[in-house]
Each structure stands twice: as structure tokens, then as C-alpha cells.
Amino acid sequence: MIPDAEFVRDIFTRAALPVAESFNTPYSDTGQAVAVIRLHSENNRTSGSITVSASLYPHQTPVHQEQIRLSSGFHDYQCRALANALSLPPAHWNEFIAIVHKAFACHLANDALSITLEPLVLTPAHLWVVEGGSVRIDTNARFRQPYGAPKMPSAVLGGVSFVPLSGCITCIVNGAGLGMLTLDSIARLGGTTAALIDMGSDGLLEKLSPALEHAASIPSTHAILINLFAGFTHCTDIAASILAWRRERPLPCPVIVRLAGFDAEEALDLIMLAALDGLFSVAESDQAAALAVQLTAQWAVG
């Protein structure tokens, strides 16, 4: 998630980063639970990023990287190692160390996932210049940060996660893993997904109707695939909610329902016996994906 320019300016202003100098990169190897400052070099320029989630430079091998244990902090000797790796003239090491420390402090103070200064340049006039940069913010930390919610490509609204995609089947699921499995099945069968709506593990009955409304409102939706595993909620209650929603409004497109878990068989029977136009019930996840792909293909032909 990249916040807008005004937000980035605010972050850098608050941290009082010098507008000049070389570069640096906070980044983090989350598997090791350590922050990593990485230095990259390209065309005699140096650039880098501070990240807590992933490298922003998947195709570049870092010139040098330093791991930082958050419990013990970031030390000058690590900055010197970075400066040395850049072959910086020793006369500029102290300036460089100050910049790296400020960037890392900015990173911590703002709950950033990454801060990238790209590139950080030491000019012939011995000025440090940051030509560009970006900040990725950990939205989980918004509760203790003064800034408002930045724009996000995927939003979590009312406990429902929404991931917009570019295809034509909108999937409603209750779990990210189940959602990805459903998308994979659709793709494997030649279909495409318009959006993934994840209701999470609790409050399914409260979230279902808004999720269906949202799915139906997406213009590119040619079919809605509901794929749920009900751990504690009765599937018959879920089926009743779907039927009630369906009876209150005309369907904009076919709806395929696959339920597993508590009372699933009875629930699918309820939907089948209701015999409502455009509403289908299927027992297996793969079958549900296949039916959704088939129905969207018919939609395209029709």
C-alpha cells in the first residue's frame, strides 16, 4: 500500500530527514523477525529501502545488508558497514550514519513496513540528495498513529475483507486460504475472478447479506460463488439467509452455493428444494468452481 504524496511528505517532514545525501534502505526479513537495511546500487547510484515485509527489489542483489534486532537496536557499527560497502569516502561517513539513523527512526516512529529512499545521491558538491522515496505503512498500527486511514487497494470493512480483481466471478468465502483455493480452481478451469469477499471466521449470518449486496453491485460480476466452511454456524441458517436474500430481490446473475461443515447436506437440500431461478447448490468446492465458470461462459455467449 503506497500512501498518497501528501502523506509521504508529512512523514518525511515529521522525521526531519535531510533533503540530500546518499541512500539507504530499511527492509525486513519477516521470517527471521529482524529488520534489514539493504543497499542496492544501479548505474553508479545507490538506492535502498527499509521494509518490514518484503524486498522492494526482487530482481536486484543487495550490495550489502545489515540485520537489526529490534530488541537491541540499530548501531553505528552497522551504519559504518553500510558506508564501507558503498565505498563512501570516510569524510562523509558521519553524515551518512545520521541519515540512516533518521530513516530508521522514522520507520519505527511511523510503524512503517518500509521506507525507500531512491536514490540517495552524494553530489560532486558534497551534498546529499534524496531524489525520490516511498513509505509503506502498517495499517494494523493505525490505532496509535495520528494519520487517518490511507487509501488501500483492498479494504477491510465491517469485518469483511474485499479484494478487487479483474475477472467476472465474485467469490464470497470465509477464510483467506479457502478464498485463494477457490480462485485457483476458477483459474485452472479457465475462469476469472472479479473480486474476493472474505467474511472471516465469525458472524457469518450478519455479514452474508451485506456481502451478497456488495457482490451484486460489482458491474463486472457475471456469477457469484459462495464457498463457505461453517465450523460452528449451522449451514441451514446460512442457506435460509441466502434464500431470504434471493426472495427479496431479482438476481443480477447466477449464484452458486457450496457449503461444508455443520448440517451442510440439509442446507444444500434446502436450496435445491427451493428451486429458485439462478440459485444453485453444490457439495464440493471444485464442482462449484466448475459450475461458476460454465455459467459465466454461457453468460458471455448469451
Residues of this chain that interact with other proteins (CB under 8 A) are 28, 30-31, 33-35, 52-56, 58, 69-71, 108, 111, 113, 138, 140-141, 143-144, 153-154, 161, 163, 165, 173-181, 183-188, 193, 196, 198, 201-202, 229, 231-232, 260-262, 284-286
**Nearest approach, Cβ of 17 to other proteins (angstroms)?**
19
If you search the block for the grid coordinates 449451514, which residue do you land on?
A: 235
In terms of CB distance, is 89 or 231 closer to other proteins?
Answer: 231
Sign of the dihedral defined by the CA atoms of residues 27, 29, 35, 41, in that order: negative
Pairwise CA distance, residues 165 & 153, whole Å: 10
DSSP 8-state class, residue 44: T
In terms of CB distance, is 155 or 240 closer to other proteins?
Answer: 155
Pairwise CA distance, residues 226 & 224, whole Å: 6
Question: Phi/psi of residue 133, each to 5°?
Answer: -175, 170
In terms of CB distance, is 185 or 241 closer to other proteins?
Answer: 185
Peptide bond into 90 cis (omega under 30): no
Report whether 197 contacts 158 (CB < 8 A). Answer: no
**Nearest approach, Cβ of 60 to other proteins (angstroms)?**
11
Buried b (16+ CB within 10 A) or exposed e, 24-39: bbbbbbeeeeebbbbb
Pairwise CA distance, residues 166 & 63, whole Å: 37
In terms of CB distance, is 19 or 141 closer to other proteins?
Answer: 141
Angle value at C-alpha 159, between 156 and 165, nearest 5 degrees: 40
**Nearest approach, Cβ of 46 to other proteins (angstroms)?**
21
Residue type, 180: M
**Nearest approach, Cβ of 3 to other proteins (angstroms)?**
15
In terms of CB distance, is 69 or 249 closer to other proteins?
Answer: 69
In terms of CB distance, is 180 or 240 closer to other proteins?
Answer: 180
DSSP 8-state class, residue 150: P
**Nearest approach, Cβ of 53 to other proteins (angstroms)?**
6
**Nearest approach, Cβ of 148 to other proteins (angstroms)?**
17
DSSP 8-state class, residue 268: H
In terms of CB distance, is 274 or 297 closer to other proteins?
Answer: 297
**Nearest approach, Cβ of 81 to other proteins (angstroms)?**
20
Do β-strands 45-51 and 34-42 pair in parallel, antiparallel, or remain unpaired?
Answer: antiparallel
